[in-house]
Amino acid sequence: MSDLPSDYSQQVAKAHDRMDGFKASLTADALVREDALPETLARVNASAKCKLRRIYAMSDELAKNRDPFIACKKGCANCCRMNVVISTLEAEQIANATGRKMAAITRPKPHAIETFDGVDCPFLLDSMCTVYEDRPLVCRNHASYYETNFACDTVNMPVTDAPIVEFTELTKALGMVSAVKGYAMFADIRDFFPKQD
């Protein structure tokens, strides 16, 4: 980790305040629907692909008023240079959208948290996401509540200082919808789409 600025502890406190501000801005109605999403999707007679779209739509709805509270801006791609864990269903969505062949992952592939620090996502080009409409849930949910992007560069970031808003029912819904034969297969996006020569 590089040297931290002298006001780092104030920055951390402010980031937590900003995160609390975001949480307070969420409407009760949206939170109730997020809470019920796994149950709602279990009742719906639709394809897994269609249910995945509903999960992404819910995530986008929850994030729609988040901008004033976060450092994330177009052109900053620090979070695309760290582990990006996605499900097979999400990888299929990207493969269908891009025509890019995906690897068959037959067993879960856990990675240490720093495994892909500094390694570009295969869909990152000139610090922009080339699959933005089809980006995975983890990318939609990820945000830095700091005022600048200093802290979300993995070189600077002590992981314990990252305030995170967890939408647990969205994650649960993704696992449920992605499950084949009883469980969902998750791996890093680079496992599904290895580097092309």
Alpha-carbon dihedral 86, 92, 93, 96, rounded to 10 degrees: 150
Verify binding: residue 124, ligand SF4, rule CB under 6 A.
yes
Verify binding: residue 131, ligand SF4, rule CB under 6 A.
yes
Among 15, 19, 52, 121, binds ligand SF4 (CB under 6 A): 121
Structure tokens at 13: 């406190």
**In the complex, what is the shortest distance from the CB of residue 87 to ligand SF4, in angstroms, rounded to a whole number?**
13
Asked if residue 35 lies in contact with residue 112, where contact means CB atoms within 8 angstroms, the answer is no
Closest-CA residue to 9 (of 114, 160, 141): 160
**In the complex, what is the shortest distance from the CB of residue 184 to ligand SF4, in angstroms, rounded to a whole number?**
18
Of the chain, the end-to-end C-alpha distance in Å amounts to 32
Verify binding: residue 187, ligand SF4, rule CB under 6 A.
no
Verify binding: residue 80, ligand SF4, rule CB under 6 A.
yes
Which residues contribute to the site for ligand SF4 (CB under 6 A)? 80, 84, 121, 123-124, 129, 131, 135, 139
